[in-house]
Amino acid sequence: MALDEASTALLGAFAQTGAKPLHEQDVQDVRAGAAMAVQMSPRGPEVDEVIDHEVAVSGGSIVVREYLPEAPTAAIVFYHGGGWVLGSLDESDLFARTLADRLNAVVLSVEYRLAPDHRFPVATDDAWSAFLWADAHVRDRRSALPLVLFGESAGGTLAAVVAQRAERENGPRARAQILAYPATDSDFERASYVDPANQLMLSRDSMIWFWNHYADLGQRADPAASPIRAEGLTGLPPAIILTAEHDPLRDEGEEYADRLAAAGGVVAARRFRGQMHGFASMVGVLPGAADALDYIAEHLAEVLAAPEGERA
Q: What's CA 85's distance to the chain center, in Å?
A: 13
Catalytic residue among 80, 137, 277, 299: 277
Tell me if residue 153 is catalytic.
Answer: yes
Residue closest to 297 by CA, chosen among 312, 282, 283, 279: 312
What is the model's pTM? 0.96
Of 73, 62, 67, which is closest to residue 51 (Cα–Cα)? 67
**Distance (Å, whole) CA 194 – CA 1:** 17
Catalytic entry in 7, 92, 153, 186: 153
**d(Cα 102, Cα 56) in Å, to the nearest integer?**
30
23 is catalytic: no
Please pick, among 247, 251, 281, 299, the residue that the annotation labels catalytic: 247
Q: What is the pLDDT along the chain (312 residues), one digit of tens a residue?
A: 799 999 999 999 988 888 888 899 999 989 988 877 777 677 889 999 999 999 999 999 999 999 999 989 999 999 999 999 999 999 999 999 999 999 999 999 999 999 999 999 999 999 999 999 999 999 887 678 999 999 999 999 999 999 999 999 999 999 999 999 999 999 999 999 999 999 999 999 999 999 999 999 999 999 999 999 999 999 999 999 999 999 999 999 999 999 999 999 999 999 999 999 999 999 999 999 999 999 999 999 999 998 875 544
- 247 classed as catalytic: yes
